[in-house]
Amino acid sequence: GENVEQHPSTLSVQEGDSAVIKCTYSDSASNYFPWYKQELGKRPQLIIDIRSNVGEKKDQRIAVTLNKTAKHFSLHITETQPEDSAVYFCAASMNRDDKIIFGKGTRLHILP
Amino acid sequence: GAVVSQHPSRVICKSGTSVKIECRSLDFQATTMFWYRQFPKQSLMLMATSNEGSKATYEQGVEKDKFLINHASLTLSTLTVTSAHPEDSSFYICSAMAGYTGELFFGEGSRLTVL
């Protein structure tokens, strides 16, 4: 089955700097890659997603890139702010109706 | 966006008792719902996929008889932890897939503490 690896597990970034979280997946049939943000004690919230027919997607300060050949996708957050501090999960699934497999998460700390 | 409601948010029970957690999609129909377990500071571990009107599909290592899942309608799925033990204490989260977009919406989660 699908396996999603996520790095780093913890990331500290100075406020205003950029943060990058990287994920790899094992099943080349996967074609949907969402990213979730989970604040302490709260439910995960979808922040951005990408499908395998595009290589990059951007939404304001957040962008995701996908390299299908390398089976690698990344989350980029620019001009980080204190409210960006949270745990971020990448995920992958084979199609819209299939189960989503999550990475282990990255705890992002934005330093003042 | 779509709303998924999960109830109860917190439950404390004695060992040996059963606990039911409900997951409702409030403004959309969800033919597929998922149940996850999350340990402190860890990722979401998929327990099972719940399909309306059919038996749930459990992930390897998840006991079907211990974690009973029912998806009787397009807006409701339930997870029953039977004969709960302290090791079942965890944060359980459901999610529902919106058929029109495939996007996943999460419930608020239920923190189960078994004494």
Across the interface, of A44, A97, A105, the residue whose CB is closest to B102 is: A97
Report the residue count for chain B.
115
Q: What does DSSP assign to residue B42?
A: S
pLDDT at A97: 53
pLDDT at B42: 76
Asked if A109 contacts A88 with a C-beta cutoff of 8 angstroms, the reply is no
Average model confidence (pLDDT) across chain A: 91
Across the interface, of B43, B46, B105, the residue whose CB is closest to A89 is: B43
Q: Which residue of B has its CA nearest to A105?
A: B43
> What whole-number distance in Å separates Cα of residue A60 and Cα of residue B97?
25
- A86: Cα separation from own chain's centroid: 12
> What whole-number distance in Å separates Cα of residue A77 and Cα of residue B41?
22
pLDDT at B72: 82
Asked if B62 contacts B68 with a C-beta cutoff of 8 angstroms, the reply is no
pLDDT at B103: 72
Task: Tell me whether A33 touches chain B (CB under 8 Å).
Answer: no
pLDDT at B102: 65
Question: For A56-70, what is each residue's pLDDT tens digit?
Answer: 999 999 999 999 999
Band of residue B19 on the pLDDT scale cut at 50, 70, 90: very high
pLDDT at A42: 77
> Does residue B109 have a pLDDT over 80?
yes
> Does residue B40 have a pLDDT over 80?
no
> What whole-number distance in Å separates Cα of residue B49 and Cα of residue A97?
11
Across the interface, of B41, B104, B107, the residue whose CB is closest to A100 is: B104
Torsions phi, psi for A62 (to 5 deg): -110, 135
Cis preceding-peptide flag for B8 (omega within 30 of 0): yes
Torsions phi, psi for A84 (to 5 deg): -80, -15
> What whole-number distance in Å separates Cα of residue A51 and Cα of residue A32?
5
Taking the C-alpha atoms of A54, A59, A62 and A64 in order, what is their torsion angle to the nearest 10 degrees? -10
> Does residue A95 have a pLDDT over 80?
no
Question: For B53-102, what is each residue's pLDDT tens digit?
Answer: 888 999 889 999 999 999 888 899 999 999 999 999 999 999 988 766 66
Contacts with B102 (C-beta within 8 Å, 6 or more apart), sequence order: A32, A96, A97
* Three-state DSSP class for residue A82: helix
Q: What angle do CA B35, B32, A66 make, to 5 degrees?
A: 85
Q: Quote the percentage of chain A above a pLDDT of 70.
A: 96
Question: For A18-63, what is each residue's pLDDT tens digit?
Answer: 999 999 999 998 988 999 998 877 788 889 999 888 899 999 999 9
* Three-state DSSP class for residue B86: helix
Across the interface, of B42, B97, B106, the residue whose CB is closest to A43 is: B106
Interchain CB distance below 8 Å, A45 and B93: no
Which residues in A lie closer than 8 A to residue B51 (C-beta atoms)?
none
B interface with A, Cβ–Cβ < 8 A, is 32, 34, 41-44, 46, 49, 93, 97, 102-109
Query: Which amino acid belongs to residue B46?
Result: L
Task: Tell me whether A23 touches chain B (CB under 8 Å).
Answer: no
Give the side-chain half-sphere CA count within 13 A for A84: 26
pLDDT at B100: 61
> What whole-number distance in Å separates Cα of residue B9 and Cα of residue B112?
8
Q: Quote the percentage of chain A above a pLDDT of 90.
A: 70
Interchain CB distance below 8 Å, A99 and B49: yes
Mean pLDDT value of segment A5-9: 95
> Does residue A94 have a pLDDT over 90?
no
More confident residue, A75 or B1: A75
Which residues in B lie closer than 8 A to residue A34 (C-beta atoms)?
103-104
